Chain A
Amino acid sequence: MPELIVNREVVADTFSYLTVEDAVPATGDVIVPLAVWQDQADSLLARGGRTGVWLASDQLAEDLDERVHQADVVAIEFPKFVDGRGFSTAYLLRNRLNYQGELRAIGDILLDQLFYLQRVGFNAFLLPDGKPAAKGLELLEPISVRYQASTDTPSPLFRQLESA
């Protein structure tokens, strides 16, 4: 069973992840593909149960509009852990669209990437099968110094030191 970390805690995953072919169930928590979300966001949000949208790695933050703020979750998929597009997508969602809700990394992610993922704005990680969440929590902060700004640190180190 893949384990889920949200806000530094291991929690049960109540969401089902739908593809474009899947019918949307009347109730229950679902995360739908971008195309479905774009088409039916309003009716999705009117259902019982929580609703999220997931972006494939070639879908950009700018493909989402204002309705994103009503989503319970935005998930960004990493098809392979070396595909780093999702890092920029997350940054832009947080900093350009100002999305404040849960941002979840799904797909092929490494425990050793959690630090960077967290820095760019993810606060939830669906770990691939076999990757223990307990270990993941240990690896959230391997480096204590952050030179540059990102979502977690809006000001680079040099500014922080100057104003300290």
Chain B
Amino acid sequence: MYVYNDYDQQLVNDRVEQFREQTQRYLAGELEESEFLPLRLQNGLYVQRHAPMLRIAIPYGMLSSLQLRKLADIADEYDRSYGHFSTRQNIQLNWPELERVPDILAELATVQMHAIQTSGNCIRNTTTDQFAGVLADEIVDPRPYCELIRQWSTFHPEFAFLPRKFKIAVNSAESTDRAATRVHDIGVQIIRNNAGELGYRIYAGGGLGRTPVIGQVVSEFVPEKHLLTYLEAIVRVYNQHGRRDNKFKARIKILVRAMGIEKFREKVEAEWAHLKDNDSTLTGNEIKRMQAHFSEPDYADLPATDPAVEQLKADSKGFRNWLERNATAHRVPGYTAITLSLKKTGVAPGDITSKQMRAAADLAERYSFGETRVSHFQNLILADVRVSDLPALWEEAKANGFATPNIGTLTDIICCPGGDFCSLANAKSIPIAEQIQRQFDDLDYVYDLGNLDLNISGCMNACGHHHVGNIGILGVDKKGAEFYQISLGGDSGLDASLGKILGPSFNAEEVPSVIEKIINVYVKERTEEEEFIDTVRRIGIQPFKEQVYA
């Protein structure tokens, strides 16, 4: 993974001192609340319902065991011994004290981490596929490009006070999009053109929130070396022309829609014409330098299968189930990628205790070259596990609460912190996730349902990505009471689509049975091999409506 050089380290060290000084001025009354606000936000610090919330950056989801242990220490020392993985591959602490945040940042800096631009109206953490580098369907490893974007966007002087937050995601898989690039402000799809040259298809104007939109193509092919100048052109056009009079209309998606994609493209291309081939153009050396940070680990020459594993598969249904849902095929024979589930029933989705962080760090060291990844589905991944280690890893994963074999299923729920923590919430989301997990506690049944994304957001800010859940649940406020609106048919993949609202909302108690009715319609209507989303696309939402509101 990326390792800091002296400059990278100096930059985060400087930031710690800068923020310490800003915090002191704020506490001394020299900075007003409104002035401190953007400064603390650009450092990931929110003021939440109960206490501040600190969002720590995990660039494109990569964590070393050293970093994970440091996060565990910080959670113990400064918080309540747990953290929460967000849907953008970051981690959040829910109970830090404002006065001690500079010390937390100083601790993070010792392990090459920071909280820079994890919030605020600036360019946020760049996200990508949690399986980057290990799957066969990838064009190239997207992480070097993510790191290039991270460095370019870090403290970009021109783009720190944009109309609104700005999120970039990179996908390099050919047949799927695990990074949900089409619902980002900019989506970078790495491609090869007909001549075999590497480049990017650039989407802009996607986003969730109260006006969900699927991104549109700005350029079909931007050659590899022009990545940063092209991004710069887009963000400059947005910074100049994005709306600033209404924060609900300030995202780039509104600008793209208002201008129309042709006009927007014209402006971007005109701006880019001035930048193309300037000094910000990537050099072959720089791309190579980045790629060297993500070189292959030292894979051994291994047989593709292992007799002991085959035996255990035959003997143990539990093991079989776990592999079926939590293992992903690796491009190197004898290895597999394993997802450690953070979706155990009764635990808030994405929550992890400090004890689990240390356990995951140990597992990563023992079984996966000392690295873990965070997925935007709020789980942890060990990307390079030897097949022969699977039985031992399974035992240890079970012992640490990581082995819930539900990845990709109905109970692998994406869920925002919601009303339990977030001051913007209309309704709680974590208890809803738990109720649904309890309702669907029959694993065999859940498996039979197959792949199904269920996403929950506590308000229309959509941190839980409800619009792109196959089933989406949105917390709404109805005369001061908490209600839930349900939508069907969302999808964040290559074929991205937004869910359609089923009808009037429900109270919390009704939600699990409504989900059950929806599932029943699917089970009844599905054809062989049809996944939930396919059935919804084929039959539309009417049959579901009829059952649910019967």
Contact = CB atoms under 8 A, between A and B. Distances in A.
A85 B236 CA distance: 9
Given A110-B35, A162-B283, A148 B156 contact: yes
A85 B158 contact: no
B158 A82 contact: no
Interface stretch (B9-17, B211-219, B432-440): B9-17
Interface in B258-284: 274, 278-280, 283
Contacts of B159: 84, 87
Contact of B157 (A83, A150, A158, A162): A150
B286 A116 contact: no
A162 B286 contact: yes
A96 B274 CA distance: 8
Contacts of B285: 162
Interface in B12-52: 14-15, 17-18, 21-22, 35, 38-39
B161 interface: yes
Contacts of A37: none
Interface in A109-164: 110, 112-113, 115-117, 119-120, 142-150, 154-159, 161-162
A17 interface: no
A27 to B, nearest CB: 36
Q: Which DSSP category, helix, strand, loop or mixed, fits chain B's interface?
A: helix
B240 A155 contact: no
Given A143-B155, A147-B152, A148-B151, A85 B283 contact: no
B279 A150 contact: no
Nearest to B240: A88
A69 B11 CA distance: 36
B47 to A, nearest CB: 17
A81 B39 CA distance: 11
A149 B155 contact: no
Nearest to B7: A145
Contacts of B286: 158-159, 162
A156 B158 CA distance: 14
B14 A154 contact: no
- Counting chain B CB atoms within 10 Å of each CB, which of A83, A85, A89 scores highest? A85
B18 A142 contact: yes
**Interface size grouping (class) on chain A:** 35 or more
Nearest to B156: A148
Given A154-B279, A158-B286, A145 B158 contact: no
A143 B280 contact: no
Given A82-B161, A83-B244, A116-B157, A148 B239 contact: no
A87 B239 contact: yes
A60 B155 CA distance: 23
A63 B169 CA distance: 34
B154 interface: yes
B162 interface: yes
Interface of A: 60, 81-85, 87-89, 91, 96, 110, 112-113, 115-117, 119-120, 142-150, 154-159, 161-162
22 contacts: A81-B161, A82-B121, A84-B158, A85-B244, A87-B160, A88-B240, A89-B240, A112-B22, A115-B157, A116-B160, A120-B157, A143-B11, A144-B10, A144-B11, A144-B14, A147-B151, A147-B152, A148-B152, A148-B280, A149-B279, A150-B158, A157-B151
